[in-house]
Copies of this chain bind each other. A is one copy, B any other.
Amino acid sequence: MSDASRFVRACRRQPVDATPVWFMRQAGRYLPQYRAVRERHGLLEICKTPALAAEVTVTAVEALGVDAAIIFADLLLPVEPMGMRLRFVKGEGPVLDEPLRTAEAVARLRSDAAAELGYVAESIRLAAQQLGGRVPVIGFSGAPFTLASYMVEGGSSRDFLYTKSLMWRAPEAWAGLMEKICSVLEPYLLSQVEAGAAAVQLFDSWVGCLSEPDYRRYALPYTRRLVQALEARGTPVIHFATGATGLLRAMQEAGASVLGVDWRIPLGRAWEEVGFAPAIQGNLDPAALFAPQDELRFHVEAVQREAAGRPGHIFNLGHGILPETPVENVRAVVEWVHELTSQGQG
């Protein structure tokens, strides 16, 4: 075995001493250490203050015993220097004022905005330093479709009617928007790698609203461009979506080392869908962390059974940790996954 971490080895489908485990949004509101920082600082303030972002990133790793740190940031950060105002509204989540609905609005967006996101790379540098190589740091961003749909809807959406209307009524404006987003994301993600990120995750949280023909026309080419820029430099990309079971075969064509899937498809079925080619990350239902421990253990074992014998499994949730999640259950999952998958224990 090389001295690469368990996590990076799993991304590359190399043998591991135990299945690596981390959690999306592991440095979040359910964690008392995070809430203590959050009492004194706003969400965007933490993102933009590398010392704070690194602190909450590293604290979560220490509290949980996970195999990777995901940098504390927000998937929407790139929209700000592109020219939109980003706010977080209690109970509603992110809100973008003056959503994009026209070709003119797209034309006004800045595409040279990556330089203003340097604070994320700096946070990664600090976090990697503080972790001293014990576990790798994962960088991330929203994927182009998910960023575009936030920008067009102005917040969360049920039907994505404005997004789809722009795609279908003004395909050139849509292409222009996706190009600009890529022009920001490519240097942004590469700067994260240069700062020490061992892998990056693209969150395509909303892409599951598209049919496969639309995904292929309006989303896949842009995601592929980003994935390939990163993979070409040897950085594994985790390509994650939710509610996108029907898109897995098309998503795989973007070429990421790892596909992240939610609990809506058994892992074995996900591998089958993509011809057993990439590594797969997932896929515990985040709600299961609220279950009594025997029921939680049932769910963890069900995920493990689906992954048994497959090279390249990274244990994670199928979505971010929910706010009221009991910390002791998160810790228990880490221990169980390591125990169930350690060499010699089958």
Query: By the criterion CB–CB under 8 Å, are B263 and A211 in contact?
Result: yes
User: When the two chains form the complex, which single residue of B164, B211, B212, B286 contacts A159, counting CB atoms closer than 8 Å?
Assistant: B286
User: When the two chains form the complex, which single residue of B159, B211, B299 contacts A264, counting CB atoms closer than 8 Å?
Assistant: B211
Q: Which residues of B contact A322 (CB under 8 A)?
A: 159, 161
Q: Mark A285-304, 1 if CB is under 8 A from B, else 0.
A: 11110111001001100100
Query: By the criterion CB–CB under 8 Å, are B290 and A161 in contact?
Result: yes
User: When the two chains form the complex, which single residue of B160, B211, B245 contacts A246, counting CB atoms closer than 8 Å?
Assistant: B245
- Interface size for chain A: under 10, 10 to 19, 20 to 34, or 35 or more residues? 20 to 34
Instruction: Assess whether A243 is interfacial by the CB under 8 Å rule.
Output: yes
Which residues of A from 136 to 165 have beta carbons under 8 Å from B?
159-161, 164-165
Instruction: Assess whether A193 is interfacial by the CB under 8 Å rule.
Output: no
In the complex, what's the smallest C-beta–C-beta distance from A236 to chain B, in angstroms?
A: 25
Which residues of A from 280 to 333 have beta carbons under 8 Å from B?
285-288, 290-292, 295, 298-299, 302, 322
Instruction: Assess whether A278 is interfacial by the CB under 8 Å rule.
Output: no
Instruction: Assess whether A346 is interfacial by the CB under 8 Å rule.
Output: no
User: When the two chains form the complex, which single residue of B165, B212, B243, B290 contacts A164, counting CB atoms closer than 8 Å?
Assistant: B290
In the complex, what's the smallest C-beta–C-beta distance from A261 to chain B, in angstroms?
A: 9
Instruction: Assess whether A221 is interfacial by the CB under 8 Å rule.
Output: no
Instruction: Assess whether A187 is interfacial by the CB under 8 Å rule.
Output: no
Query: By the criterion CB–CB under 8 Å, are B291 and A169 in contact?
Result: yes
Instruction: Assess whether A269 is interfacial by the CB under 8 Å rule.
Output: yes
Instruction: Assess whether A247 is interfacial by the CB under 8 Å rule.
Output: yes
Query: By the criterion CB–CB under 8 Å, are B287 and A160 in contact?
Result: yes
In the complex, A266→B246 CA distance in Å?
7
Instruction: Assess whether A213 is interfacial by the CB under 8 Å rule.
Output: yes
Once A169-B291, A246-B245, A292-B168 are accepted as A-B contacts, the answer to whether A212 and B266 lie under 8 Å apart by CB is: yes
Q: With CB as the reference atom, state the residue of chain B lying closest to A286.
A: B159
In the complex, what's the smallest C-beta–C-beta distance from A117 to chain B, in angstroms?
A: 29
Q: Which residues of B contact A264 (CB under 8 A)?
A: 208, 211, 243-247
Q: List 15 extra interface pairs beyond A165-B290, A168-B295, CB under 8 A.
A: A161-B287, A164-B285, A164-B287, A165-B291, A168-B290, A169-B292, A208-B243, A211-B285, A211-B299, A213-B298, A243-B264, A245-B246, A245-B264, A246-B265, A247-B264
A–B pairs, 24, beta carbons within 8 Å: A159-B287, A159-B322, A160-B287, A164-B288, A164-B291, A165-B287, A165-B291, A168-B288, A168-B290, A168-B291, A168-B292, A169-B295, A208-B264, A211-B263, A211-B285, A212-B265, A213-B266, A213-B298, A213-B302, A243-B264, A245-B264, A246-B265, A246-B269, A247-B264
Task: Give A contacts to B, CB under 8 Å.
Answer: 159-161, 164-165, 168-169, 208, 211-214, 243-247, 263-266, 269, 285-288, 290-292, 295, 298-299, 302, 322
